[in-house]
């Protein structure tokens, strides 16, 4: 049985001694103290099916025995060198990681978090392109360090401070809430928009959003040049927003034609989670110049990276660059084991199979309940957008979301919440979840949605 700090004491410390700007999930937060694969246990021994993986971070499973062994073996040998000497783990891992990427992406910088990775990507893109001006998308999340906070285009995360000089936002190509949304297709096994008639590569909304991106560049950038363009392959924090088919490809082509560098933020979408491909950018058929990754890369241990081309790496070599913990032996050993487990245990394939099964089940719930506005995603990156009713698409208010959310927790599943209006439930579990887990979760959601089917009208 659990014998650590008491629940009440932990809540008191949380309220008085920990970052007061940090949210905690649920009215009566759960105090988790153990995890195994896709399950978590609270201090009272109650088991939960973890469908949010510590915000899309636990990739192969909580305390996966093979990652545990990799960390343990490395810890017994060597913890740290700050990369001033050669050590096997970082070199082996860099070799294995780049083998998973297209050939042109061959130079790795190891860092410790997603924000740090995007900081670095922004820095190198500006240096290489010789242009300070960059564009991101509204509703994006790329981290909260002072350097990249401007790329995180959500007022939720903004302080009354300058949010990154030289950073501009283009309209978000959001098929559900965007001004030109709702009429076109997404690259998803579940075609949520059944009236879509766009031919491949001929989506009218895509052309409008691209035109707007072009205008942002034309009106704000010196000589129409651009330094960099940043995009997540599917927006995570923003509520699992998928761009309409062909958008990202056209955006990258436009940016490249103006001398800019394209950055794919794979912090949530990388490492096979989307099922059909190892990297999210591959699902869009684009060729990024820089890829940033974190979260699932280390299955929960701090590990992140920026991978780029030798040409960009050369510009970065004009000054020394150094990171004390980036590429430390323990994180790299865990990173290597994660890559191996994804392959050995067929986790990318599992994401495709279980994810599609999940999405199909959720699409049925959407057809059954008027409060489920949209079901979307790819593989095990899933969003359920809740509304007062499908016709108006009005976001379900926070208190009503909380009521539903609380019930799902009581019934044993932990799901996430996000989206600009906080009305999107997010399902992004450890990649080892099974169809049986998905069926259990679908059963819970069915019961909870049934109980609250009229909540949008109240």
Binding site for ligand PMP (CB under 6 A): 55, 113-115, 118, 141-143, 232, 236-237, 265, 267-268, 294
Q: How far is the CB of 172 from ligand PMP (least distance, A)?
A: 14
Q: How far is the CB of 303 from ligand PMP (least distance, A)?
A: 10
What residues contact 69, with CB distance under 8 A and at least 6 apart? 337
Instruction: Pick the closer one to ligand PMP by CB: 268 or 348.
Output: 268
What residues contact 90, with CB distance under 8 A and at least 6 apart? 83, 110, 327, 328, 329, 332
CB-CB contact of 264 with 286 (8 Å): yes
Instruction: Pick the closer one to ligand PMP by CB: 232 or 437.
Output: 232
CB-CB contact of 111 with 117 (8 Å): yes
Instruction: Pick the closer one to ligand PMP by CB: 118 or 188.
Output: 118
Q: How far is the CB of 268 from ligand PMP (least distance, A)?
A: 5
CB-CB contact of 394 with 252 (8 Å): no
Q: How far is the CB of 111 from ligand PMP (least distance, A)?
A: 9
Q: How many CB atoms lie within 10 A of CB 169?
A: 16
Nearest residue to the partner ligand PMP, using Cβ: 114
Q: How far is the CB of 53 from ligand PMP (least distance, A)?
A: 12
Cα separation, 414 vs 432, whole angstroms: 15
Instruction: Pick the closer one to ligand PMP by CB: 114 or 288.
Output: 114
Instruction: Pick the closer one to ligand PMP by CB: 25 or 317.
Output: 25
Query: E strand or H helix at 424, and its extent?
Result: strand 424-427
Instruction: Pick the closer one to ligand PMP by CB: 232 or 282.
Output: 232
Q: How far is the CB of 296 from ligand PMP (least distance, A)?
A: 11
Instruction: Pick the closer one to ligand PMP by CB: 119 or 374.
Output: 119
Q: How far is the CB of 97 from ligand PMP (least distance, A)?
A: 17
List the 413-414 sheet strands across, edge first: 32-36, 39-42, 47-50, 413-414
Instruction: Pick the closer one to ligand PMP by CB: 141 or 369.
Output: 141
CB-CB contact of 310 with 106 (8 Å): yes
Counting other chains too, the contacts that 310-318 makes at CB distance below 8 Å and 24 or more residues apart are 310/106, 310/107, 311/128, 312/107, 312/124, 312/125, 312/128, 312/261, 313/107, 315/124, 315/127, 315/128, 316/109, 316/124, 316/127, 318/127
Q: Going along 233-337, which residue ranges are E strands?
A: 261-265, 290-293, 304-308
List the 424-427 sheet strands across, edge first: 372-378, 381-386, 424-427, 416-418
Q: How far is the CB of 283 from ligand PMP (least distance, A)?
A: 15
Instruction: Pick the closer one to ligand PMP by CB: 305 or 445.
Output: 305
Burial 65-85 (b: 16+ CB within 10 A, else e): ebbeebbeebeeeeeeeebee
Q: Nearest Cα to 249, choosing from 295, 283, 220, 198?
A: 283
Would you call 13 exposed, middle or buried from its count of C-beta atoms within 10 A (0-12, 13-18, 19+)?
A: exposed
Q: Classify 155 as helix, strand or coil.
A: helix
Q: How far is the CB of 139 from ligand PMP (least distance, A)?
A: 11
Instruction: Pick the closer one to ligand PMP by CB: 294 or 305.
Output: 294
Q: How many CB atoms lie within 10 A of CB 215?
A: 12
Q: How far is the CB of 236 from ligand PMP (least distance, A)?
A: 4
Phi, psi (degrees; rounded to nearest 5) at 26: 75, 150
Phi, psi (degrees; rounded to nearest 5) at 140: -80, 160
Q: How far is the CB of 247 from ligand PMP (least distance, A)?
A: 17
Instruction: Pick the closer one to ligand PMP by CB: 261 or 305.
Output: 305
Angle made by CA atoms 385, 390, 391, in degrees to the nearest 5: 140
């Amino acid at each position: 049985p659990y014998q650590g700090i008491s629940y009440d004491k932990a809540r008191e410390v949380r309220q008085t001694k920990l970052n007061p700007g940090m949210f905690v999930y649920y009215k009566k937060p759960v105090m988790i103290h153990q995890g195994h694969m896709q399950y978590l246990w609270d201090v009272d021994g109650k088991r939960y099916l973890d469908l949010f993986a510590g915000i899309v971070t636990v990739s192969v499973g909580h305390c996966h025995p093979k990652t545990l062994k990799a960390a343990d073996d490395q810890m017994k040998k060597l913890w740290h060198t700050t990369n001033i000497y050669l050590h096997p783990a970082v070199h082996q891992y860099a070799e294995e990681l780049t083998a998973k990427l297209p050939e042109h992406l061959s130079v790795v910088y190891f860092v410790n978090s997603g924000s740090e990775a995007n900081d670095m990507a922004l820095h190198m893109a500006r240096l290489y392109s010789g242009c300070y001006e960059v564009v991101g998308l509204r509703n994006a999340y790329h981290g909260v360090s002072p350097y990249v906070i401007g790329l995180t285009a959500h007022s939720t995360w903004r302080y009354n401070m300058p949010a990154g000089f030289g950073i501009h936002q283009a309209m978000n190509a959001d098929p559900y809430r965007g001004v030109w949304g709702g009429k076109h297709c997404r690259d998803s096994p579940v075609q949520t928009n059944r009236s879509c008639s766009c031919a491949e590569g001929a989506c009218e909304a895509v052309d409008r959003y691209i035109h707007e991106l072009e205008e942002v560049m034309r009106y704000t950038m010196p000589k129409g040049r651009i330094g960099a363009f940043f995009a997540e392959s599917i927006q995570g924090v923003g509520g699992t927003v998928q761009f309409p088919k062909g958008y990202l490809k056209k955006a990258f082509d436009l940016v490249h034609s103006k001398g800019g560098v394209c950055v794919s933020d794979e912090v949530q979408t990388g490492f096979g989670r989307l099922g059909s491909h190892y990297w999210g950018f591959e699902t869009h058929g684009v060729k990024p110049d820089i890829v940033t990754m974190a979260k699932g890369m280390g299955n929960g241990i701090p590990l992140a990276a920026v991978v780029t081309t030798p040409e960009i790496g050369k510009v970065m070599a004009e000054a020394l660059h150094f990171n004390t913990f980036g590429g430390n032996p323990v994180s790299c050993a865990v990173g290597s084991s994660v890559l191996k487990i994804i392959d050995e245990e067929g986790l990318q394939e599992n994401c495709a199979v279980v994810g599609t099964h999940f999405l199909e089940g959720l699409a049925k719930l959407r057809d059954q309940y008027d409060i489920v506005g949209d079901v979307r995603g790819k593989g095990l990156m899933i969003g359920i957008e809740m509304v007062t009713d499908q016709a108006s698409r009005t976001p379900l208010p926070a208190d009503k979301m909380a009521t539903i959310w609380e019930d799902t927790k009581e019934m044993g599943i932990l799901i996430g919440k996000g989206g600009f209006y906080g009305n999107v439930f997010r399902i992004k579990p450890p990649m080892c979840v099974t169809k049986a887990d998905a069926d259990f979760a679908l059963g819970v959601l069915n019961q909870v949605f049934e109980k609250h089917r009229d909540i949008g009208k109240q």
